[in-house]
Amino acid sequence: MVGRVEHIARFGTLVTDFTLLTPGALHRANGGYLLLDAQRLLAGNFGWASLKRALNAGEIRIETLEQLLSLASTVSLQPEPIPLDVKVVVLGPPLLYYLLSALDDDFKELFKIAADFDDRVERTPETTLLYACFVAGVVRREKLLPFDRGAVARVIERASRVVGDADRLSTGLRGIVDLLQEADQVTVSAGKQVVTAAEVQRAIDAQFRRGDRVYRRLQEEIGRNTIRNETDGEEIGQVNGLSVISLGGLTFGNPSRITARVRLGRGEVVDIEREVELGGPLHSKGVLILGGFLGGRFGKTRPLSLNASLVFEQSYGGVEGDSASAAELFALLSALADAPINQSFAVTGSVDQHGRIQAIGGVNEKIEGFFDVCQITGFTGRAGCDHPGEQHQAPDAAPGRCHRGRRGTVPHFPDRDRRSRFELADRSYGG
């Protein structure tokens, strides 16, 4: 950052002179702009401290690490400090900015202008055209095979899928460039001259396939009925909930059986996951909200005389998030009313104390995960996924696993309140 004094071994001693002075990044950028990666800057040896010292002093002073730590007592060169006139731009994730602002008193004094770049843009005809131009630029720069219109459209759909919103596009372009390069390689291996949507999809599938060992293992256990997932028939106090598992850069949906039992008691809803310390704070919050809804709905004139317990069956890891609270509510209502729930449906969504269904994340992954389970257990023609009506993610499920009414697919039913959801889960439909 601020340069160093190098030495030469001569006759068993280290010697130096002015020709062995090495400039640092601040010397080379003096009079202009210096762009730095925040993570590398903080991970380097005293790079952040050296930068702050130079900016505070307004000059560049070459000091060795031994001098900074007062570990060296030998006489060496002491170059004169150089006046510093530079504009420093530090690039990094928002979390680092928030941490430095809170923990480093000098940070706000030295870096007064903050620019928070969004990781997504609105999906409009103009931004879609810009994305297509970006794809064309990468193809030319990397000397890839040409992409036809269908391939470019599939890449843009993938950019929308990355942010989990059909109305937005991701500005994280590194993954898109990797996808373009992999689709080019797939096309070359197939002996074709033009990249089509099929090759782009094969590249996407290959990216998922390389890291889906855990997912395939779960699917195998479901197929062997070691992990029970019922997609046909009716059960009281049981519903298929949908969760999302993230492992590194891979995210996939995993259906779970959620069951509820009720008995006489003092109006308590017991979250078994929380009792055994497998439930996170957000999941526990969702269960407590269910207790508030039940109390407000059924306990206005007299105390509730029931005890209820909720659990994710065959869940041996932690459970976090409130997106299963709607499914847990249905299981509770089913157990209270002794009314069976159609097991062909899977449910996702959070719920508030008034019974309103709220939006959640990972809809695509959840629908695809339930589709794969139905593919293992066998399609009955009645399976479906129920998700919040406010979700904008649902129309972008992966080809072949989506829910647009094609043969062998899983329909989805967006709604906004618990009454319409329970009516839907309590009836069957044909086709």
| CB 307, CB 265: distance < 8 Å | yes
For residue 360, how many other CB atoms are within 10 A of its CB?
23
- Fill in the amino acid letter for 237: G
Active site residue 143: no
Dig out the tokens for 252 from the structure.
């996939």
Dig out the tokens for 126 from the structure.
């103009």
Dig out the tokens for 125 from the structure.
């005809």
End-to-end CA, the chain: 68
CA 410 to CA 394: how far, in whole Å? 12
Active site residue 323: yes
For residue 139, how many other CB atoms are within 10 A of its CB?
19
- State CA 123 to chain mean position distance: 19
| CB 82, CB 59: distance < 8 Å | yes
Kind and range of the H or E element at 282? helix 281-298
SS3 110: helix
Strands 350-351 and 340-342: unpaired
CA 235 to CA 427: how far, in whole Å? 12
- State CA 327 to chain mean position distance: 22
CA 359 to CA 163: how far, in whole Å? 15
Dig out the tokens for 183 from the structure.
């689709």
- Fill in the amino acid letter for 264: L
Q: Which residues pair with 202 in a beta bridge?
A: none
| CB 293, CB 213: distance < 8 Å | no
Burial (0-12, 13-18, 19+ Cβ within 10 Å), 374: buried
CA 192 to CA 147: how far, in whole Å? 11
CA 403 to CA 171: how far, in whole Å? 27
Of these residues, 309, 323, 325, 344, which one is catalytic? 323
Kind and range of the H or E element at 200? helix 197-210
Active site (catalytic) residues: 323, 366
